[in-house]
Copies of this chain bind each other. A is one copy, B any other.
Amino acid sequence: MAPGPTEIPPQVLSAGGEPILHHRTPEFRAIFADVCEKIKYAFQTTQPVLTLAAGGTGGMEATIVNLSAPDEKIIVISGGVFGERWAKIAEALERKVVRITVEYGKAVKPEEVRKALSENPDAVLLCGTLSETSTGALHPIEEIAAITKATNTLFALDAISGLVACKLKMDEWGVDAVVSGTQKGLMMPPGLALIALSERALTAMKTKKSPKFYWSFESALKKLTEDKLPDTPWTPNVSLVRQLQVSLQLIHAEGIENIWARHELLAHATREAMKALGLTLFAETPSVSVTSVHSPAGINSGDIVKKMRSEWGISIVGGQGTMEGKIFRIGHLGYCDRTDVLMTIAALECVLSGLNVPITLGAGTKAAQEIFLNSK
């Protein structure tokens, strides 16, 4: 019940224990071809999706490296640890960064984005976050994409914890680069970064004089498309690619609209349970991947997290950075269903009660039950 790495379906786990295929065999390349095609559905795109053997942060770095050059200007929506990560990467790689600073827990306002874009028409890239895992906030991506589309600035989106959980229609909304990782909505171990690129992004990347080798989208794209079966420039994570094939089968079978609805339902039930327990939600526009909650007065949220793990064997997480000790976060992301949410709420009630927080045992559970019963 952490916002990633998330639980993995047994079918996907056991694929991780299958014998390894050599990455240049027709057998492996057929698997990779299937993955490259089926992954597009997760991004709601018809554009190519690149696969890098790296964590999500590596995918973000690769996006900056390929879609901008040193000294070029990048606007970053910074409203949490992961929004700020875009800025840190861009600064480390000697780009000029203009921040739209958003109060933690809040979402950026489309007007703020419009203002930043019009004040910085020379910005080559706007970097945002779909679901800001550190605060639990969901940003208004459809509106931001519509604003950005009318400018010469490309819009790059960190959808690492948002993909296949929060609604995202890359092509329809007009997002130029969507970065994701495998350990969240894709229900996989961490280790693969996935990046989908719009036509605009594919064109822009050709003009960028930016030092790169491992991260080169051009190399990845060439290997993806030059032969009848797709390939990678460097040895791919073969075991993770095979696991992704199984995970994508599950995702296609459930249907992306149903998956989004399931996440909406689990998040709604979790939020109502927290409110019924007298707790206060942290995020003003909450993501459906994770629910962030203010720790009750006088309680360090780290103690709640520790007791959830030691007494109940459930992993939730505390706050990061300035929010450490102040909030706790419950993930309901990926391979997660109503029963997981009910058991988590019921266990949390026991933990809070053990910490002498004045709550009514069962009150949160009841609120969630009612949401579930009324959901059909």
Chain A residues proximal to chain B, CB less than 8 Å = 2, 4-8, 13-25, 53-58, 61, 70, 88-89, 92-94, 181, 183, 189-191, 211-214, 216, 234-240, 309, 315, 317
Q: Is the CB of A191 within 8 A of B237?
A: yes
Q: Is the CB of B191 within 8 A of A61?
A: no
Q: Is the CB of B315 within 8 A of A22?
A: yes
Q: Is the CB of B13 within 8 A of A14?
A: no
Residues of B near A18 (CB, < 8 A) are: 13
The one of B21, B211, B237 in contact with A70, judged by C-beta atoms closer than 8 angstroms, is: B211
CB distance from A291 to the nearest CB of B (A): 17
In the complex, what residue of chain B is closest to A192 when comparing beta carbons?
A: B191
Complex A-B: 22 CB contacts under 8 Å: A5-B21, A13-B20, A14-B17, A16-B17, A22-B315, A24-B317, A53-B191, A54-B214, A70-B211, A88-B213, A89-B214, A93-B212, A93-B213, A181-B235, A183-B235, A189-B237, A189-B238, A189-B239, A190-B236, A190-B239, A191-B191, A191-B240
CA A179 to CA B234, docked complex, whole Å: 15
Residues of B near A92 (CB, < 8 A) are: 211-213, 216
Q: Is the CB of B56 within 8 A of A189?
A: no
Q: Is the CB of A61 within 8 A of B213?
A: yes
Residues of B near A19 (CB, < 8 A) are: 7-8, 13
Residues of B near A213 (CB, < 8 A) are: 57, 61, 88-89, 92-93
CA A25 to CA B305, docked complex, whole Å: 11
In the complex, what residue of chain B is closest to A317 when comparing beta carbons?
A: B24
Residues of B near A6 (CB, < 8 A) are: 20
CA A239 to CA B92, docked complex, whole Å: 29
Q: Which 9 A-B pairs have the closest CB atoms?
A: A17-B17, A189-B239, A16-B16, A191-B237, A92-B213, A53-B55, A57-B234, A22-B315, A61-B214
Residues of B near A309 (CB, < 8 A) are: 25
CA A89 to CA B57, docked complex, whole Å: 20
Additional pairs, 14, CB under 8 Å, beyond known A7-B20, A53-B54: A5-B235, A5-B238, A17-B17, A22-B317, A24-B317, A54-B58, A55-B237, A57-B214, A92-B211, A92-B212, A92-B213, A94-B211, A189-B238, A190-B239
Given the known inter-chain contacts A88-B213, A93-B213, A191-B191, please indicate yes or no for A235 contacting B55, CB distance below 8 A. Answer: yes
